[in-house]
Homo-oligomer: A and B are copies of this chain.
């Protein structure tokens, strides 16, 4: 659909290179929305793109700093990235199948802000992860 162009990277202050375009293309392909460095690496190799793991890690961090991607620290140790689409949201993670569902609740957001400012804190960011089971019978969410 919308294949990334060199300018997508240049506009973000990054030189246009083959690995960067491939990584951005993978996220824009929409196959999987939330991916770890390892996920990205394997998907690229599977697709025939030749890339180094170190480059994947570097580029993901650069993309995060450039605001192209958002990083999440779910339970399990490895960080997970997703395309930054401007709209903040939180996550429900299925403990059975790993499916991730997104949500936004304005009340929760404003109450968080209230709680923090009441205590004299200036909020930078927050993470709200709900860990749950989605299974009625067998996990309906394909993974």
Q: Which residues in B have their C-beta under 8 angstroms from that of A101?
A: 119, 121
Q: What is the count of identical protomers in the complex?
A: 2
| A95-B124, A119-B92, A134-B120 given; A111·B108 CB < 8 A | yes
Q: Which of the four size classes fits the interface of chain A?
A: 20 to 34
Cβ < 8 Å to B, chain A residues 56-107: 73, 75, 77, 92, 94-95, 101, 103, 105, 107
B105 and A115 form a contact (CB under 8 A): yes
Residues of chain B contacted by A108 (CB below 8 angstroms): 108, 111-112, 115
- On chain B, the residues within 8 Å of A131 by CB distance are 123-127
- B107 pairs with A121, CB closer than 8 A: no
Point out the residues of chain B lying under 8 angstroms from A111, CB to CB. 105, 107-108, 111
Residues of A at under 8 Å CB distance from B?
73, 75, 77, 92, 94-95, 101, 103, 105, 107-108, 111-112, 115-116, 119-134, 136
